[in-house]
């Protein structure tokens, strides 16, 4: 088997290395350069086209479900007039991270082709699974997409509520927690959180009995934190 592979590689190299009979070296070099520029331009153009909100919601299941929910949140309409689009939250800005995310997202094409969530009922049935995938991804990359716009270095803690500022100082700055640990459900509705491990809950001394009750469960904590983002 190895002999055949070696022979095939040797044959391919002879074809590749054989001098051109009809074209000069300068012409081939220039042609290769021009071809490379055209390919790179086309590649980046296609990359940017697939990195727009219009492309994201061109599929009915995306426009009728996640996008519709986004339009009712502070990330879509707010006093500052800054709107986050689908790629802002789901695609990193750094080129290498963006390419890795695009390769990962290519698998989602199969879901569209086979109609995995092409109805509202199917979407609701898969909501928890989809949410877990995104939570795990953002947890693994330290909420990279959140940091496309939000930076703890730029936070004015004096303009935050005392509780939010305290949590950010103690847990976000130290790296003990990341954005997605607390801020679930800020752009899309939460799935049924019953028996779902939230990942992180504020320590007992930081839980306000006035807000949460004497013994809050994970779901109430997550919903309270999400409500802060919406207001």
Report yes or no: 181 and 189 within 8 Å, Cβ to Cβ: no
The pLDDT of residue 213 is 39
Neighbours of 13 (CB within 10 A): 10
- Which tens digits make up the pLDDT trace of 32-69? 889 999 999 999 898 889 889 999 999 889 999 999 99
**How far, in Å, CA of 126 to CA of 108, rounded?**
13
Q: What is the pLDDT averaged over residues 190-216?
A: 65
Per-residue pLDDT tens over the stretch 68-103: 999 999 999 998 898 999 999 998 888 888 888 888
CA-nearest of 141, 126, 122, 224 to 180 is 141
Instruction: Specify the DSSP class assigned to residue 215.
Output: S
Q: How far apart are CA 105 and CA 219, in angstroms?
A: 29
C-alpha 10/C-alpha 202 separation (Å) is: 63
For 215-224, write each residue's pLDDT tens digit: 444 445 555 5
Task: Enter the pTM of the model.
Answer: 0.70
If DSSP states are collapsed to H, E and C, what string results for 138-149? HHHCCCCCHHHC
Distance between CA atoms of 78 and 90, rounded to whole angstroms?
20
- Identify which of 55, 59, 148, 47 has the alpha carbon closest to the alpha carbon of residue 102: 47
Q: What is the mean pLDDT of the chain?
A: 83
Confidence at residue 212, expressed as pLDDT on a 0 to 100 scale: 42
Percentage of residues in the chain with pLDDT exceeding 90?
36
- The stretch 131-159 carries a mean pLDDT of 91
Is the pLDDT at 227 greater than 70, yes or no?
Answer: no
């Amino acid at each position: 088997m190895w002999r055949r592979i070696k022979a095939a590689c040797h044959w391919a190299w002879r074809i590749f290395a054989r001098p051109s009979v009809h074209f000069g070296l300068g012409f081939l070099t220039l042609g290769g350069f021009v071809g490379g520029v055209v390919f790179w331009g086309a590649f980046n153009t296609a990359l940017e086209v697939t990195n727009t909100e219009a492309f994201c919601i061109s599929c009915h299941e995306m426009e009728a479900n996640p996008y519709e929910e986004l339009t009712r949140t502070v990330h879509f309409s707010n006093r500052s007039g800054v709107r986050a689009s689908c790629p802002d939250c789901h695609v990193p800005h750094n080129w290498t991270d963006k390419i890795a995310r695009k390769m990962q997202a290519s698998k989602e094409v199969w879901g569209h082709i086979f109609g995995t969530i092409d109805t509202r009922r199917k979407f609701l049935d898969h909501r928890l699974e989809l949410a877990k995938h995104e939570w795990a991804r953002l947890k693994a990359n330290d909420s990279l997409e959140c940091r496309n716009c939000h930076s703890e270095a730029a936070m004015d803690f004096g303009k935050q509520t005392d509780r939010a500022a305290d949590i950010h100082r103690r847990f976000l700055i130290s790296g003990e927690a990341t954005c997605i640990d607390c801020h679930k459900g800020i752009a899309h509705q939460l799935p049924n959180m019953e028996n779902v491990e939230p990942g992180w809950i504020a320590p007992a001394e930081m839980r306000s009995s006035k807000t949460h009750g004497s013994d809050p469960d994970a779901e109430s904590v997550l919903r309270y934190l999400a409500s802060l983002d919406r207001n």
